[in-house]
Structure 1
Amino acid sequence: MIDFTGKTFIVSGIGGIGAETTKLLDSRGAEVILMDIDEKNITRTKELLSGNNHSGYVCDFSNVEGIEPVVRKIVMEHGPVDGFVHCVGVGAVRPLKMSKYDFMLGVMNINYFSFVEVVRCLSIKGNFNPKGMNVVGISALGAFLGNSTKTAYCASKGAMNAAVRCLAKELAPKNIRVNTVAPGVTNTLMATNFEQMGIESEEIKMIKSRQYLGVCEPIDIANAIAFLLSDLSRMITGSCISVDGGKLTS
C-alpha cells in the first residue's frame, strides 16, 4: 500500500532503527540520504540497499552549528526532500550528582537540538517539496515514564515531543507534518548497552514484563515511521505514536 517511488528521504542516525528504516524505504522505491557521524555505518548500510541512487553524509550531531552546511549540501546535490527521519540519539545515564550542565547539554544537543535544527533547515523554502514534507522524530517512552539516572535522556525526549506539537502547528501552512514515534524496549544496540551499563536486572525484568507483547524489533518501529511518512497518515500531525508492546497500558 505504500509506494515511495520518486520520493527523497533523509534518515539521520543509521543505528538499528535507522538502518532498518533505510532498508524499508529503499524497498518501497525511495531515494534515501543517510546522515551519521560514522562513515563506516553509512557504507555498511548502503551495501544492504538494492537501489543505486542512495547517498551518505557524515554529520556530527553534537555540533549543532555544523548541521546547516551539511543540509545545504544535501539539498544542493539532491534537490528538495520529501521527508526526514531523525533516529539520532544517545542513551547516556548518570545519577543527579553527576549530571552537571556540560553533560546535560551534550545529551540535549544530540537528542533534541539537532532534531530541531535539521527541521529548521529543511523547512526553508526551496529545501522541501512544495507539495509537502513529512518529519518523524524517534522519541522514547522516557518522555512519559521517568526513571532514576535518566533525567537528561528523558528530558531530551520529552522536549522533542513538546516541540513537535509546536512545529506541527507552525509548519502546517507549508504542508509539513511533524510527528514522533516512541519505541518500547527494542532489540537494538542501545538497549543492550543499557543492560550492560549495570542497570539492575530486576528493573529490566520488570520493564519487559510490562511490555506484554514482547520486545520490539527495529522493523516494528520502521513500519510506524513509514506509515507516518506516507499519505495514509495525512491527517496525523503533532502526535506521538507509541510502539511499545503495550507497556504504557500496564
Structure 2
Amino acid sequence: MRLENKTAIVTGAGSGFGAGIARRFAAEGARVMVADLNEDAAQAVAKEIGGIACAVDVSRNADVAAMTRAAQDTWGWIDILVNNAGTTHLPKPMEEVTEEEFDRVLNVNAKSVYLTARHIVPLMKAQGSGAILNVASTAGVSPRPKLNWYNASKGWMITATRAMAVELAPEGIRVNAINPVAGETPLLKSFMGEDTPEVRAKFLATIPFGRFSTPEDMANAALFLCSDEASMITGVAMEVDGGRCI
C-alpha cells in the first residue's frame, strides 16, 4: 500500500501503459482518476479499479481545466499526476509528415504537459507537495529513423521534465520521466508502420532483452518514482527499455 491515501490523475489511462499504471496505483491504495479521450475505455478501467473516469482531450485547455476541477471537487487535492497520453505519426520521411500530423503529435505529447502544469502545479504548490511523472520514450534519447517529429516531441518531454524539476523542487514537487521502449499497446502498429512477424523481429532485434515492454513494466517504474520511496529523486528520465538505449 505504497500510495495509501494518495490521489492520482493518469492521462491516457483507458488502455496500454496508462491502464497498467492506473491499475497498479489503485492496487497500492491510491484513488485514481482514469482520464482518456475514449470515455468508454476510461469508464471500463475506472469501474475495474474503483476509480473515477474523466473524458479529456489533453491538448485542449478547457478539457484539462475541467479534468482538474473534477479531481478537486472529488478529492480536494491532487498528489500525483501522470502525463501518459501520447500519439505518433506513421513512419515516413520527415518532409512528408503533414502539418496536421505534426500539430497533433506536438499538441498531445508536448502541449499537454504545459496545460496540466498550468492547472495542476498551482494546486501542488499550495499544498507544498506533489509528484509529476511524464511518460516520454526511448525515442527521445535514441531516435528511430522516420519517426522524426515523434522523436522530437519525446525529447521535448525529457527536457521539460528536467526544467520542471529544478524549478519546482523548492516547492516540494518532484518531476520525473520514464522512457519506455515500444510495447504491446495501441500505438505499436503505428510505430512499426505495419505489424508483421518480419517487422516485429526487426524491431525486437534492437532490444537486448528481446521483448517488448509491458504495461506492468511501466507501472512498476511509475509506482516507485511517484511513491515516497523516491523522495530524493527528481529530474530523472529513467529508461525502462530492456537495454535499448545502451
What is the aligned partner in structure 2 of residue 130 from structure 1? 127
Q: Where does 1:206-221 land on structure 2 (aligned, <5 Å)?
A: 206-213=202-209, 214-221=211-218
Match of 1:152 among 143, 146, 149: 149
Distance (whole Å) between structure 2 residues aligned to residue 128 and residue 30 of structure 1: 20
Shift of 1:68: 2.0
The AA in structure 2 aligned to 1:103 is E
Tell me whether 1:120 sits opposite 2:140 in the alignment: no
Q: Contact conserved, 2:162 with 2:236, CA < 8 A, in 1?
A: yes
What is the aligned partner in structure 1 of residue 68 from structure 2? 71
Distance (whole Å) between structure 2 residues aligned to residue 145 and residue 201 of structure 1: 24
Shift of 1:38: 1.0
Match of 2:109 among 85, 108, 111: 111
Gaps of 5+ in 1: none
Q: Contact conserved, 1:79 with 1:127, CA < 8 A, in 2?
A: no
Distance (whole Å) between structure 2 residues aligned to residue 81 and residue 107 of structure 1: 27
The AA in structure 2 aligned to 1:62 is S
The AA in structure 2 aligned to 1:225 is A
What is the aligned partner in structure 1 of residue 93 from structure 2? 95
Q: CA RMSD in A?
A: 2.0
1:129/1:226 Cα in 2 relative to 1: closer, same or farther (>3 Å)? farther
The AA in structure 2 aligned to 1:212 is P
What is the aligned partner in structure 1 of residue 3 from structure 2? 4
How many residues align? The count is 243
1:87/1:243 Cα in 2 relative to 1: closer, same or farther (>3 Å)? same
TM-score (norm 2): 0.91
What is the aligned partner in structure 1 of residue 201 from structure 2? 205
- Of 62-71 and 173-182, deviating more is 62-71
1:55/1:12 Cα in 2 relative to 1: closer, same or farther (>3 Å)? same
What is the aligned partner in structure 1 of residue 21 from structure 2? 21
CA shift digits 1:130-157 (9 cap, x unpaired): 2410011110111012223211211110
Gaps of 5+ in 2: none
What is the aligned partner in structure 1 of residue 39 from structure 2? 39
Q: Say which SS state the counterpart of residue 205 (structure 2) adopts.
A: helix
1:189/1:208 Cα in 2 relative to 1: closer, same or farther (>3 Å)? same
Distance (whole Å) between structure 2 residues aligned to residue 206 and residue 236 of structure 1: 35
Distance (whole Å) between structure 1 residues aligned to residue 124 and residue 225 of structure 2: 20
Q: Where does 1:133-212 land on structure 2 (aligned, <5 Å)?
A: 133-195=130-192, 197-198=193-194, 204-212=200-208
Q: Contact conserved, 2:59 with 2:115, CA < 8 A, in 1?
A: no
